[in-house]
Structure 1
């Protein structure tokens, strides 16, 4: 039975360890080309170009800054950074995270010097580490003191506001907030949080169960969304940085190991959610849904290629969306209404930088950049 325990939330402690636009010359402009110049992403050829890290750790945390700068964080406390598009990687791991073997499931970065990494787990295993010097030194800026809390993911807005989300404590999802770009964090009261369902939780799968409006056109600095799984997968929404929330049901499949594993928003009212059932990795039915304006979440017209743990809009390519998971990658040119599988490599997470470069990361040290071949047949 896939119960609401530390083991399921970590996707690894009890057997749930899962299973980026540049070509070989590391040129990224192709991925950033505007849709009206080269057509939709769905009309192009696309593939993943590996950026070997030289390590075997599983990297669920991923924070690309550009086609050249990216950070990844791993299951054993590792953080790697590249400043040359993945030709070389530097180990800049927080010493405390390595010593304690913490699972760094989420990392957020602003540039090549500033980043924060979140470790997951019950009680004090949930921590946030910050660096201002490219990982040479780290400060532990948050340590969870509630043994019942278990933090899954975090996100920042363009104004330096950040939220971190924990699974329910005493019937309510717990939110920690920073208003000083991550230098300090405070757990918020739950007075503005809708009550959690009896078997509802988040998934620490790719650092994208909580996202901000930082890259969403027309959205507010205090706007965030987080997604859930379990009894009835839902999406929570705040426009005031976590003081109050609304919640909507979705069409994504429910279950003890099922729900929404990742969400992304293109603008204030346009979003996509992916997931499915982790224990049925090849089954992508009822695993994706879309949101448009005030309309309810609507199921995608066709199934994904399997369970998916990460999703992202591709900047500059209209409504193009990429989803990744253990059985491969899917692309949608219509914002998630329809999908087509284009790769079978195992990746856990996907993020796209503001310059259009999209990166993926996963098991066995896997990192890659998305390559778009203009004018190619699908």
Structure 2
């Protein structure tokens, strides 16, 4: 049974595509941020690119450049990719051709090379590659195994090597790998993956698989809520409980790492988004996890803001919305805005976020 994103259950799939509940930015809500970086003293500056798009993929390339990817809120509609190079004043539609019915949930940009991941069962899972700012695209990978369903992807360092993760196939999460900057992809052997039946990554924000240095991390939910770590480019993995409650629609949704030792995971339960207890966890050694402070909203995504102490989490689902800041590595959180999104990414103190009905925010 699939989860978040598109196919956990038909009812949940519909809910995930609905517009967010109305929310109001509260620029001065956090007084605990006075001693550190806070991009939200003036709140989110929001624009709507395409009200028919549900954005869940985002890459903040610089203070001036960002990419967002989505899926149509209309059945069979076109999935879009947008790019800005002028701080969000204008956005160009750089979508691949023939994207009707697809769901672009992740985008990764390294130098001149961009990749977008379409998720779904069988051939709905694809990776597109561009080397010219989205002017043209090639299909670098199309899944042909009906049992596989790819959720997230991530690249190491300068983008030469990368991974993508699928829901379990024959009881284990499946790992796809590239070592030529995404030109070609191959499935890695499964012998180094622990048993992960009914455990999966949530395609909430494209950050259920992330890298830091030479380490990769998968954040899971479902039957178990864990963080899996690999230090050999995805060949072997070790799983550790995250402390975020597991469930059919619950667990860790996204992770962010300042280093292989310092990371934060956020999550919740999409079937009970208003219950925000035990929605975060953090690590100081990259291997053991401690429950962090509770958010006041569902945690769909998290990003490091500066060093390992400062990070931002956001979410917007079923009326549970907001953006929160930690200044102690995830031990405590303060909500800095009642406005939330599905995905967030920062460069220095410039932050970008994106969500339902084509909304994009810059803070």
Q: Whole-Å Cα distance in 1 between the matches of residues 177 and 245 of structure 2?
A: 30
Matched, 1:332 2:334: no
Alpha-carbon contact 1:9-1:203 (below 8 Å) kept: no
Counterparts of 1:294 and 1:55, CA distance in 2: 39
Which residue of 1 is the match for residue 45 of structure 2? 49
Q: How does 1:343-354 map to 2 (within 5 A)?
A: 343-353=337-347
Provide runs of 4+ in structure 1 moved above 3 Å: 3-6, 9-15, 41-46
Give 1:154-233 correspondences, 5 Å limit.
154-159=153-158, 160-197=160-197, 199-213=198-212, 219-220=213-214, 223-233=215-225
- In structure 2, distance between residues paired with 1:325 and 1:51: 17
Larger strand percent:
2
CA distance in 2, matches of 1:330, 1:179: 36
CA deviation map 1:133-166 (0-9, x unaligned): 1111110000001100000000001141110000
| Superposition deviation, residue 294 in structure 1 | 6.0
Structure 1 residue aligned with 2:24: none
Helix, strand or coil at the partner of 1:140: strand
Cα distance in structure 1, aligned partners of 2:153 and 2:252: 16
* Alignment-derived partner of residue 104 in structure 1: 104
1:326-363 per-residue CA deviation (whole Å, 9 max, x = no partner) reads 1111111111100111212230001123x442211101
Instruction: Please name the residue that 2:131 is paired with.
Output: 132
1:259 aligned counterpart, secondary structure: strand
**Aligned pairs for 1:18-29 within 5 A:** 19=20
C-alpha deviation, 1:242, in angstroms: 0.6
Q: Tell me whether 1:321 sits opposite 2:311 in the alignment.
A: yes
Alpha-carbon contact 1:7-1:14 (below 8 Å) kept:
no
For 2:97 and 2:10, the matched residues in 1 are separated by 21
1:303 aligns with 2:303: no
3-state secondary structure, aligned to 2:7: helix
Q: 1:11 to 1:109 in 2, by over 3 A?
A: farther
In the alignment, which residue of structure 2 is the partner of 1:81?
A: 83
Where 1:260 maps in the other structure, the secondary structure is strand
Within 1, Cα distance between the matches of 2:109 and 2:38?
29
Q: 2:118 — aligned with what?
A: 119
Q: CA RMSD in A?
A: 2.2
Q: Is the 8 A contact 2:38 2:349 kept in 1?
A: no
Task: Output the CA distance in 2 between the equivalents of 1:352 and 1:267.
Answer: 16
**Cα deviations across residues 85-117 of structure 1 (Å, max 9, x unaligned)?**
1000111100122xx320000011124x43100
Q: Is the 8 A contact 2:37 2:349 kept in 1?
A: no
The aligned residue for residue 30 of structure 1 is none
Separation in 2, partners of 1:83, 1:161: 26
* Unmatched runs of 5 consecutive residues or more in structure 1: 20-34, 214-218, 371-378
Distance between the aligned counterparts of 1:131 and 1:11, measured in 2? 35
SS in structure 1 at match of 2:258? strand
Corresponding residue for residue 278 of structure 1: 270
Q: CA deviation at 1:42?
A: 6.7
CA contact (8 A) 1:42 1:332 kept: no
1:11–1:17 contact (8 Å) kept in structure 2: no
- Partner residue, 2:95: 93
Indicate the SS of the match to 1:75: strand
TM-score, length-scaled by structure 1 = 0.84
1:266 pairs, out of 218, 243, 258, with: 258
Aligned equivalent of 1:287: 279
Aligned to 2:7: 7
Question: Number of paired residues?
Answer: 337
Q: Contact 1:346–1:363 (CA<8 Å) still a contact in 2?
A: no
Shift of 1:174: 0.3
